[in-house]
Amino acid sequence: MKGIIKILIISLVIAILLVPLLTVPSMAAKPVKKNVPVISVQSVQASIAGSPEQRFDLVAGGGSLNGAMDVGDVYITSDGTNIHVKFQITDYRFYLATTQVKVSMESLAGTSSAPGQFPYKYPHGYVKEYEYVIPIPAGANNGDTIYIAAHADAVIPGAEEYIAGNVLPSRAELSVWRSSDPYYPVYLLAGIHEWVGSGSVLDGTYNPPLYYGAWCIDADSLINTYPARYWANVYSSYDVANVDPLVEYYENMDLVNWIINQPSFVNTDATDSSGSSLGKYTYGDVQVAIWMLLDDQLPADLRSVPGYSIDRANRIVELAQAGEGFVPVAGQKLAVVLDPYDPEGQPCIIWLTLPKGQDETAWGAEATWDPVTGKCTSLNYPFNAGKTGNWATFMEYTL
């Protein structure tokens, strides 16, 4: 019995000695991405009652009130342990490239507004929303005012980002309509019922569908017309890794992009290299030319292609050699590849007009807007009131 008591006493002493070693230290807050579970962050502040959510505007271009734009929202709430600061873009053109946050028990008026010095920051690439979970400052109590600065680099991606595929949706649901008129504005219509995956200008669900001009790029496969629907991967035509396996001659994709950027083919006079008339170009001619450039053979049956001529298609291929190395720029068209999940589904391309990029600094602000003109009339709580060229703002939040 004495031996058992000794063992129990020794075990109790060891357990007591190990307690400090097992204590988990407090962790600094880390930003949390959209759709990523919030990891619990330990705070030095004792838990207080949670506080209701408050919404502020995310204002870009506020160097002058006339140039200010409401590009999104900043939502602030408290769960009693942490303060949640959530950025959300509402202007479909913009993305969050980077965000920075500063939280203080003292007013930020007259302090540094350099966002690079803020303690909480994260480079996103391109996202539509982002949330920070930040410990409530030590000593804060319900009813106290917390001062929060929330800055973002809000950007409209430029042509190069679409070409790289960085802001294209990951997938789409589409149907195909076929034209029997050789001079109809498109040979095929790709009706997009839904874009999914990036929050880009293409995302959303549509009823009726959005229609895009389309071309088939693989003569070896077929695609059924509406009411058949297909889910498809979405790629930039300059995405070598994903598009090269879909066609025999990917090296000619630059020539295809050149062709869809020419306004002078369909329903215009076609002549050969000697100037002899070949009739008028049709959309069937363009489709056959695309197959000739990307595939190693034409379909055995071309009856479904309206009004084509091999001579005119060959002439388009000949002229397209001027497009060697062609890459579209803002205002021009990019061929976007839709590759159906169904192995029997035919890959096709649609074209999108590329936007011009824009980069704006944006601040979470208590702003007012003219209900008629939509112009910003005031931005409250500036860091440096009256300082020329500095319109940085902060927000007040009551716990």
Top pLDDT among 208 and 315 is at 315
Angle at 233 between CA 247 and CA 191, to 5 degrees: 100
pLDDT tier at 332 (50, 70, 90 boundaries)?
very high
Cα pseudo-dihedral 141, 145, 151, 152, rounded to 10: 70
DSSP calls for 329-347? -TTSEEEEEEEESSTTBPP
Residue 209 and residue 192 in contact, taking contact as beta carbons nearer than 8 Å: yes
Predicted pLDDT of residue 25? 37
* pLDDT score, position 23: 38
Model pLDDT, residue 251: 97
Give the model's confidence band at 199: pLDDT under 50 very low, under 70 low, under 90 confident, else very high.
low
Task: Let me know: does 219 contact 199? Beta carbons within 8 Å.
Answer: no
pTM for the complete prediction? 0.71
Query: Out of 124-133, 147-156, 298-307, which region has the weakest mean confidence (pLDDT)?
Result: 298-307
> At 11, which helix (H) or strand (E)?
helix 2-22
For 255-292, the pLDDT digits (tens) are: 999 999 988 788 889 999 999 999 999 888 999 999 99
Q: pLDDT (tens digit, 9 = 90+) per residue, 363-384?
A: 999 888 988 888 888 878 787 7
pLDDT tens digits, one per residue of 232-264: 999 999 999 999 999 999 999 999 999 999 887
pLDDT for 44: 41
- The whole-number pLDDT of residue 145 equals 93
Q: Out of 53-67, 143-157, 381-395, give the one with best mean pLDDT.
A: 143-157
How far apart (Å, rounded) are the C-alpha atoms in residues 89 and 92? 7
Q: Are 84 and 76 in contact (CB under 8 A)?
A: yes
With both helix axes pointing from N to C terminus, report the angle between 253-260 and 283-294 in degrees, rounded to the nearest 10: 170
- The confidence score (pLDDT) of residue 147 equals 95
In the chain, at which residue ranges do the beta strands (DSSP E only) sit? 31-33, 51-60, 69-78, 82-89, 95-104, 120-127, 129-135, 145-156, 171-178, 188-196, 204-216, 230-236, 269-271, 277-280, 333-340, 348-353, 358-365, 367-369, 376-379, 395-398
Q: By the 8 A CB rule, do 330 and 158 touch?
A: yes
Amino acid identity for residue 224 in this structure: N
pLDDT tens across 64-96, in order? 778 889 999 999 999 989 999 999 999 888 999
